[in-house]
Amino acid sequence: MRDVVIIGVGTTKFGELWESSLRDLAVEAALKAIDDAGCDRIDSLWVGCMSCGLFNGQEHLGALVADYLGRTPMPACRVESACASGGMALRAAWMEVACGQSDVVMALGVEKMTDVSGGKATYALAAASDREHEAFHGVTFPGLYALIAVDHMHRYGTTREQLADVSVKNHEHGSHNQYAQYPHKVTREQVMSSTMVADPLRVLDCSPISDGASAVIVAALDESRSLTKNALVKIAAIGAATDSLSLHQRKDLCEFAATIEAGERAFKTAKLSPSDIDVAEVHDCFTISEICVTEALGFFERGRGGPAASDGATRLGGKIPVNTSGGLKSKGHPVGATGIAQVYMLTKQLRGEAGPVQVKNARRALAQNMGGTGSSNVVTILESGS
């Protein structure tokens, strides 16, 4: 297995991008990554996208993006793993380079979600749940994560205020992100008085419907120095795991078992532990999600993720800064792009290019991207100084 490094990254703005199509967004992010790398060579392309067929009526996305990038006849393929599609696309690109099949590969994530009604968007997103046993009976993702939140609150004493503090912290970070969908600060009171969605989750506990794309170019370490002048960021490990699709089939509603497994695999491969990580981007599709994920990854003990959000442990300057990009909550959540966007931000952190949210002396970073109620998980560990 060869060492694999990131040589270029690019992203679009996230939001309601009425004037940009699915292919426009994909090409914009890809060209920005190529420009960042200073390398016009791409041997292969993996496109992460959850539901372009339902949102846009467009399948066969690999060939479409390769065509509009002017890169045919290179191999290109779409990857789908619900909201973990971007992370899985990066995993495919990483494996292709590591095994020696290609030297330079692009992983791109994209989703165009706002061209349909709210009802149709809800229907499309529900495809990531168990359609027969959950969605058919009217259970939406806010409802499922509300169940997780209620269980966590009952078992560990997690409070409504602690949930709100996750949102406050992520909007504070996101206020510095020029690409964020909602780059503004919110207060605890605003979160707690916002519209109820699924008790106890309110609208400011929930990530938005978003359009956007992000891209990462990876290369073999021994080839990279001739390709780019950027500081190199090594992919130390990628761990992946799955769990039951239906939430009701889990032994523990608020333990993300697949996150635990994917994290353990990544830490073992990288020969690191949670205490070695300087900065993390995790999948905060709902505020309770960030709390559960930080526990599952070993950053905090079970039941301590809520207090950590309130005492500043996950803020910039805290024990483990989490979601310095603003997370899904503030940055936005174009579902196929999210996993790549996390790595975009962490690459900037490890290069020392994160501006106002730069974590001092950041050397190791972790991205956690998941689909459904944690049914599919990807954990990526990055290192600087390769």
Active site residues: 83, 333
- Dihedral (Cα; 278, 284, 289, 293), 10-degree rounding: -20
Residue whose entry in the numeric block shows the structure tokens 């805290």: 318
Here the tokens at position 307 are: 């207090």
The CA distances from residue 215 to 37, 109, 145, 158, in Å, are 11, 6, 29, 36
**Is residue 278 within 8 Å of residue 367, measured between CB atoms?**
no
In this structure, what are the phi and psi dihedrals at residue 52, rounded to the nearest 5 degrees? -65, -30
Residues 266/379, Cβ–Cβ less than 8 Å = yes
**195 alpha carbon, distance to own chain's centre:** 25
**Strand extents, DSSP E, 177-278:** 196-198, 201-202, 211-220, 233-242
- What the block records as the tokens of 346 is 């962490």
Look at residue 11 and give its three-state secondary structure.
strand
User: Phi and psi of 68, rounded to 5°?
Assistant: -75, -10
- Rounded CA gap, 303 and 295, in Å? 7
Q: 62 near 78, Cβ under 8 Å? A: yes
Q: Is the dihedral of CA 88, 89, 90, 93 positive or negative?
A: positive
Closest CA to 90 of 338, 372, 304: 338
End-to-end CA distance of the chain: 16
Quick check: 369 and 378 in contact, CB under 8 A? yes
Residue 337: exposed, middle, or buried by beta-carbon count in 10 A (0-12, 13-18, 19+)? buried
Output the six-digit token pair for 378.
């990807």
The Cα–Cα gap between 32 and 12 comes to 8
| DSSP state at residue 1 | -
